[in-house]
Structure 1
Amino acid sequence: MEKREKFSSRLGFVLISAGCAIGLGNVWRFPYITGKYGGGAFVLVYLFFLFILGLPIVVAEFSVGRASQRSIATSFNKLEPKGTKWHCYRYFGMAGNYLLMMFYTTIGGWMLAYFFKMLKGEFTGLKPKEVEQVFATFTSDRNAMIFWMLLISIAGLCVCSLGLQKGVEGITKIMMSTLFVIMAVLAVKSLTLPNAMDGLRFYLVPDFGKMKEAGIGTVIFAAMGQAFFTLSIGIGALSIFGSYIGKERALTGEAISVGLLDTTVAIVSGLIIFPACFAFGINPGEGPGLVFVTLPNVFNEMAGGRVWGSLFFLFMTFAAFSTIIAVFQNIITFAREMWGWSLQKSLLINGALLILLGLPCVLGLTDWSGIQILGKNIMDFEDFLVSNNLLPLGSLIYLLFCVTKYGWGWDHFLKEANTGTGIKFPGGRPMKLYLTFVLPAVILFIFVQGYMSMFAGGM
């Protein structure tokens, strides 16, 4: 196989790792649960858990990638003690990448479609019920959804075909920089609307009464879950980017940079959404309804709404597309390292598979809408498999691999994490005990709680 490429700059590595972590959950889930669970009080709890739960696993993934200089395909083989079977996890990790893309490309396609709908002025003059109908019509149109899913998938494959530096790094740098500029412009616009301060108060002023009302346990679990899942940890999607960087900088500082960028996008999304909703007296609903029904109504009320709406959906498309590029790169590199395929062969075979496997999600919303698995439609079931199973269990594998003597081991992990300048990972006995016993127990709790919530919700 040809010489392995490296990132051309540290900025490229940080932006791509952040791009992988920054996704649609930051925009349509984080603001909603923040408002629901006590505003600023929830943000503080979330940041606490992001720091103590998510960041150590990001450092672990980066360390495994950089020490092995490999993707999840062969990284465990290179580092594991002789005779152990840690490398078997690679198949589950890759399944996680594929499953994530099986529904994510469909939602990314929705964002792209709405960018063009907004640009063309399709929502101008529509009443709220009519805006809702546009979304209902679109998500029941199989061919339209396949078209947009194909378009964003092919665009992602084209970026990956250009290689690491010219394609993945070059385009992600431009896209993420543009994303931050668009967000800043939208946030300023939103904050200058009438009654914007009411939305800001709802979003960011700590309301411990709301936390108590929802139940402290519920709020803590929601914060833990969001902190954990927002970083895309556990399926090797971050470790591959660790494998493309040099030894100049210690990895804890890099993990903090990624976590801060991810959190900034989540918080600024709320600064865009809540003041705008409150300005026009529109209820900030949850999930797809917030983005595809509530916000087009907000833009309809706003002066120059067509422009602001187009910018918003361009930002949403970039948030989705950055994750698609990052995960596609992991999938394509896996086959190249595992079986020695050329870039072209891996692109063609994986590209065809990714597009074919994206079809059940679209069909699950249309022709196969009657199919339910554990009480969920196909898209929600695919999401459940990734978010509630492969991400937590994969994170547990990376963690135990790095801290126990049966895996790569604490000393090797610490040496790799702390090679280079910058913030060092604490290596004392309390930290080792925390990562060996406490954090795995928390991850298992999140895993079990996910199932309990599902069954309690009456499948």
Structure 2
Amino acid sequence: MEKRETFASRLGFILISAGCAIGLGDVWRFPYITGKYGGGIFVLIYLVFIIMLGLPIMSMELAVGRASRKSIATSFKVLEKNGQKWHWMGYAGMAGNYILMMFYTTVASWMLAYFYKFLTGRFEGIDTQQVCQVFDEFLASPLEMTVWMVLTTVICFGICSFGLQEGVEKVTKIFMVLLLAIIIVLAVRSLMLPNAVEGLKFYLLPDFSRVEEYGLWETVYEAMSQAFFTLSIGIGSLAIFGSYIGKERSLLGESIHIAALDTVISIIAGLIIFPACFSFGVDPGSGPGLVFVTLPNIFHSMAGGRIWGSLFFLFMSFAAFSTVIAVFENIISFAIDLWSWSRKKAAFVNTFLLIVLSMPCVLGFNVLKWIQPLGPGSTILELEDFIISNNILPIGSLVYVLFCVSRYGWGFENFMEEVNAGEGVKMPRALRGYLTWVLPAIILLVLIQGYIDFFG
């Protein structure tokens, strides 16, 4: 069996963990569901869930990873008592990572494709309506969609195959620094557009009429789902990085750094999207395609727009790739932990497996468009997203919570010893009642209400 790898630096751990969180959840998903569910009021509920749910559950996931030194495939088995069945969560967690990548690789590949389109001048001299058509034509082409998805999968597994320090850590550090720089510049530029103030009002001021339209519980549920989706908690995609770090720093403190970086990127993404929407007359709630219609129009208004557009989608590729690389690292670790495969063998086999598994999502926009699993107009991507965001992530998070607080699991004392080992912000013992009773109850309540809203 290969020796357990470790990060070269603490910064590497924080940036890679944040890289797992930062990505399409921030720039693809966050703006359009914020637009849909009431602007500022949704952002506020989302931030509450990040603090109430995100931080404690992230700390628990990292603690299970660090204590076991394993991926979710075997971490529960290492820590559970004889005869217990917590290790069954390992199967659900592995399935969750694969299902997430079955659609995430496709959407990540859209970013790479758009970088290429900007670089080659595809958006030169076309109007807002024609920008919409470019995206529609792209989705309608199974060959073009497949090529970009395969390229994305091969690149990301290729990076992982070089190892934790030489591949994953080195590349992700560069991605994250460049992403942060370009996204701040774009936000400043977007705020200088005509009518930007109206976009800021839409984004930051609460609109209770939209909350009434969809219902308070659906709004709350979507905010919780977004908190799980963007932080990638519940399927062990952060626990794997816990397994690579030492005990020098407390895990609540590290979780705060990761969540803060992720949330800042989400907020800045909104500062790019919403002023641009109102400047170019694009509906801010127009769905996942928002980023592929709105952003190209921002660049039309800028001197050197082709260069800016190319750079933005290159760095959005980096943001998306940082998540894909993080989850691929988890997927590779399954084979290493379970069957003692070499890293290169695990990367090679999974490259082919993920390409095959991603095809239904790719073809769901064209050849298999007639399959509408969640009702008229829905896609295979939406079904896969529903399985992950509305089911596996929250249920997985509930399992992590119960495992860490219950005497029938790992136990509260073991969890507290692990989470508070090292310097930094400590998990207060006074939260025991909240973590044991209130936190699981909140997850259950919102999970059940979300089902009622979805199917009702």
TM-score bracket relative to the smaller structure: over 0.9
Q: Give 2:420's aligned residue.
A: 418
Q: Give 1:324's aligned residue.
A: 324
How far residue 208 of structure 1 moved from its aligned partner, in angstroms, is: 5.5
Contact (CA 8 Å) 1:280, 1:301: kept in 2 or not?
Answer: no
Q: Give 1:256's aligned residue.
A: 256
Distance 1:276 1:53 in 2: 32
* More divergent stretch after superposition (67-76 vs 372-381): 372-381
Q: Give 1:451's aligned residue.
A: 451
Aligned length: 454
Deviations 1:372-421 (A, max 9, x none): 33434322111111111111111111111100011100000000000001
Q: Structure 1 counterpart of 2:24, which letter?
A: L
How far residue 214 of structure 1 moved from its aligned partner, in angstroms, is: 5.7
Distance 2:372 2:35 in 1: 31
How far residue 204 of structure 1 moved from its aligned partner, in angstroms, is: 1.9
- Counterparts of 1:262-277 in structure 2, within 5 Å, are 262-277=262-277
Distance 2:215 2:97 in 1: 34
Deviations 1:213-261 (A, max 9, x none): 6654443333333223321111110000000001000000100111101
- Counterparts of 1:324-403 in structure 2, within 5 Å, are 324-375=324-375, 376-403=378-405
Are positions 1:306 and 2:306 aligned together? yes
SS in 1 for 2:234: coil
Distance 1:450 1:317 in 2: 31
How far residue 19 of structure 1 moved from its aligned partner, in angstroms, is: 0.8
Contact (CA 8 Å) 1:123, 1:296: kept in 2 or not?
Answer: yes
Contact (CA 8 Å) 1:156, 1:324: kept in 2 or not?
Answer: yes
Contact (CA 8 Å) 2:218, 2:453: kept in 1 or not?
Answer: no
* More divergent stretch after superposition (215-224 vs 205-214): 205-214
Q: Structure 1 counterpart of 2:144, which letter?
A: A
TM-score by length of 2: 0.95
Deviations 1:48-92 (A, max 9, x none): 221011111100000000011111122111110111111121111
CA RMSD after TM alignment: 1.8
How far residue 119 of structure 1 moved from its aligned partner, in angstroms, is: 1.6
Q: Structure 2 counterpart of 1:146, which letter?
A: T
Q: What are the ranges of 5 or more consecutive residues in structure 1 without an aligned counterpart?
A: none
* More divergent stretch after superposition (121-130 vs 334-343): 121-130
Q: Give 2:432's aligned residue.
A: 432
Distance 2:140 2:38 in 1: 35
Shift of the 371–223 alpha-carbon distance from structure 1 to 2, 3 Å rule, reads closer
SS in 1 for 2:288: helix
Shift of the 390–253 alpha-carbon distance from structure 1 to 2, 3 Å rule, reads same
Distance 2:295 2:285 in 1: 10
Distance 2:116 2:270 in 1: 23
Q: Give 1:237's aligned residue.
A: 237
Distance 1:288 1:39 in 2: 16
Distance 1:211 1:373 in 2: 26
Give % identity. Answer: 61
Shift of the 210–109 alpha-carbon distance from structure 1 to 2, 3 Å rule, reads closer
Distance 1:373 1:38 in 2: 27
* More divergent stretch after superposition (400-409 vs 311-320): 311-320
Contact (CA 8 Å) 1:161, 1:343: kept in 2 or not?
Answer: yes
Q: What are the ranges of 5 or more consecutive residues in structure 2 without an aligned counterpart?
A: none
Deviations 1:19-70 (A, max 9, x none): 1111212113322333444433432332122101111110000000001111
SS in 2 for 1:287: coil
How far residue 317 of structure 1 moved from its aligned partner, in angstroms, is: 1.2
Q: Structure 2 counterpart of 1:418, which letter?
A: N
Q: Structure 2 counterpart of 1:389, which letter?
A: N
Shift of the 106–444 alpha-carbon distance from structure 1 to 2, 3 Å rule, reads same
Are positions 1:199 and 2:199 aligned together? yes
* More divergent stretch after superposition (213-222 vs 308-317): 213-222
SS in 2 for 1:32: helix
How far residue 15 of structure 1 moved from its aligned partner, in angstroms, is: 0.7
Shift of the 366–241 alpha-carbon distance from structure 1 to 2, 3 Å rule, reads same
Distance 1:39 1:364 in 2: 30
Contact (CA 8 Å) 2:217, 2:449: kept in 1 or not?
Answer: no
* More divergent stretch after superposition (158-167 vs 127-136): 127-136
Distance 2:215 2:412 in 1: 37
